[in-house]
Every structure is written in C-alpha cells, then in structure tokens.
C-alpha cells in the first residue's frame, strides 16, 4: 500500500521521519512522500489529490483538521492516524489509539464518507466555539512555553474566570446574553462522555450557555481546557443543518479544533454532508 504521510514533528507523541517510515514498512505501507505539517500547502497535495492517492496524517486534532480542510470536497482518500495530545476525531471514528494497531488496520480498511463543518468557510472536523474558550486558548498558548502546558491551562482558566465578558448573540430569531457558544460537527452525546455516535448524519449541534455566574463559568473553562466541554450540562442545545450567529462586536476570536482565528461577524456555520472520504 502506498501513501502520502503528513506528520506534526511537534505533536504530543511525535516520532521522527525515519521512525515513521520504519513503522509503516513493518505493515507493508510505503510512504511515497513525507510532509511535515509546517510545510503543508495545497500545491504539495495537488498531484496526490488528483490521482486519488491515500493521504494519511498522524498527529492531534489540529493536524488532522488542517489536512481535512484541504481534502474535503475532493476525490482524495484521508487516513487519519492518532498521534497527538487530543485525538477526538480518530476516537469517534473508532480508529485504534495505538499507532501500530492503527497502521496494521489501515491496509484492509474500508473507505466511507463523513461530514465536515465550516465556520465562515474554515473547515473543522470536531467543534468550534466563540467566547470563553477561545480566550482561554489564547492565554494558554502565550504561557505554555514559559510554565508548561497544564500550569498554563490552569492559569488561563482562572484568568478567563476573572476577566470574562458576555456577548449579545442572535441565533435565528432568539437573542441571548452569553459568554460561550459551542458548535459541533454532528451530535455530541452529553451523557456519553462527549463522544459522537455518528459523523455522517449531516447535522450541527449548537450549545449556548446563558449563565453569567462566575462559579459556573470557571467550571466551563476548566472542562473545556481539558477537552471535556461536552460533559457540561449548563447549555441549551439545538440540532440544525446550519446556523448564523450575529454579535454586537464586529470581530471575535473563534476556536476551531484547538486553533484560534480572528473572524468577522456574522459567523455562519454549516455542515458539509459526506464531504470527506475517510479510510479507517
């Protein structure tokens, strides 16, 4: 089996290029092209996409989301592999969380179509949010290299707790005063550990919290920073195909699969049904 492999040398459990080649070789997989995520461009994938080559990516959700954004809507086959700190996408697809086992399964894996979602045209595979969580992520990123990941996560949670702001948000015909909006690619199961049973149902799950209680907001900040925001019960939930969120502020930070981007209001979210061909 021949693949193009994209990897993140800085991910939580990064392997060297040679280690990845050796591992793939053990399972009869030949890497035709090995691309670090920092050097990934649409041009470098144009030939593999055109020829429907399997394009694998090993890394966390941020790495997989970046690759999926280039492959969605094409004939390319995406093979996501676990390899980062957070691997929600591979877990929800039922992919083995040990890289060796995932590679062993890849050769005989089947291809199926799954959904992606977008916010103002930017693709995400798991979720996106406005308000408290993006603010916390920005603070955490600024301090990670200085004090470490988890101390930075705790510090950013408390900073968000102290400095939080609420936004006037309009969803359809309803207006809310809220510090946090979460939009998921397909339905997140709050009572099942925040997992998704399906990533091909063609729906978005939208969660909005109306609370302005500092204690509740601290809980939200802590849960979101450790990847457990779906377990919170302080939300109104809606299931829809698309949603447009308008805010009084012209521009806000939006988190999408762990990355943060400044975007202009209104924020249009939609699901792109069965836009991604996945081998797993």
The pLDDT tens digits of the residues spanning 206-243 come to 988 776 666 666 666 555 555 555 455 566 788 899 99
Q: Which of 162, 120, 132, 160 is nearest to 235 (CA)?
A: 132
User: Dihedral angle at the C-alpha atoms of 99, 100, 105, 108, nearest 10 degrees?
Assistant: 110
Calpha distance 117→25 (Å, rounded): 34
Q: What is the DSSP string of 68-128?
A: HHHHTTSS-EEEEEE-SS--HHHHHHT--SSHHHHHHHHTT--EEEEEEEEETTEEESSEE
Mean pLDDT of 170-181: 80
Confidence of residue 41 (pLDDT cuts 50, 70, 90): very high
**Which positions ≥6 away from 266 have C-beta within 8 Å?**
244, 245, 246, 247
Q: CA angle, corner 163, sides to 158 and 166, nearest 5?
A: 120
Q: Taking 70 as the threshold, does the pLDDT of residue 101 lie above it?
A: yes
Mean pLDDT of 118-134: 86
Three-state SS at 251: strand
The class that CATH gives domain 2-109 is alpha beta
CA dist 76 → 18, 122, 162, 171, 215 (Å): 25, 19, 46, 35, 46
Contact, 277 vs 133, CB < 8 A? no
Q: Which of 40, 67, 66 is nearest to 56 (CA)?
A: 67
The more confident residue out of 184 and 230 is 184
Three-state SS at 209: strand
What CATH topology corresponds to 127-271?
Tumour Suppressor Smad4 (2.60.200)
Handedness of CA 33, 84, 254, 186 (dihedral sign): positive
**Considering the entire predicted model, what is its pTM?**
0.83
Confidence of residue 134 (pLDDT cuts 50, 70, 90): very low
Task: Tell me the domain boundaries of the chain.
Answer: 2-109, 127-271
Confidence of residue 84 (pLDDT cuts 50, 70, 90): confident
Contact, 57 vs 6, CB < 8 A? yes
Task: Among 124-138, 192-206, 219-233, name the one with the lowest average pLDDT.
Answer: 219-233
Strands (E), the chain: 2-7, 30-36, 54-59, 77-82, 111-119, 122-124, 127-131, 167-171, 174-178, 180-185, 204-209, 236-240, 242-247, 251-256, 259-264, 267-279
CA dist 40 → 49, 66, 82, 118 (Å): 13, 9, 18, 20
Average pLDDT in the chain: 83
Percent of the chain whose predicted confidence (pLDDT) is above 90: 54
């Amino acid at each position: 089996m021949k693949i193009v492999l994209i990897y993140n040398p800085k991910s939580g459990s990064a392997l060297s290029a040679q280690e990845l080649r050796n591992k793939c070789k053990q399972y009869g997989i030949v890497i035709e092209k090995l691309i670090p995520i920092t050097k990934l461009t649409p041009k470098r994938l144009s030939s593999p996409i055109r020829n429907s080559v399997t394009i694998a990516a090993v890394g966390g959700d941020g790495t997989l989301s970046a690759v999926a954004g280039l492959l969605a809507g094409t004939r390319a086959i995406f093979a996501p592999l676990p390899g980062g700190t957070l691997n929600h996408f591979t877990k929800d697809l039922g992919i083995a969380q040990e890289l060796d086992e995932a590679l062993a399964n890849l050769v005989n894996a089947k291809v199926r179509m799954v959904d992606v979602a977008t916010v103002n045209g930017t693709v995400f595979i798991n979720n996106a949010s406005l308000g408290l969580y993006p603010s916390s992520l920005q603070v955490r990123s600024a301090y990670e290299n200085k004090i470490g990941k988890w101390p930075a996560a705790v510090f950013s949670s408390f900073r968000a707790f102290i400095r939080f702001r609420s936004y006037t948000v309009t969803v359809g015909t309803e207006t809310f005063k809220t510090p946090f909006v979460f939009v998921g690619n397909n339905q997140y199961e709050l009572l099942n550990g925040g997992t998704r049973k399906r990533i091909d149902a063609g729906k978005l799950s939208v969660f909005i919290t109306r609370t302005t209680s500092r204690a509740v907001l601290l809980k939200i900040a802590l849960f979101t920073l450790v990847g457990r925001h779906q377990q919170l019960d302080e939300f109104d939930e809606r299931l829809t195909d698309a949603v447009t969120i308008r805010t009084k502020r012209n521009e806000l930070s939006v988190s999408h699969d762990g990355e943060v981007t400044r975007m202009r209001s209104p924020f249009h979210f939609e699901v792109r049904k069965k836009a991604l061909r996945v081998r797993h």
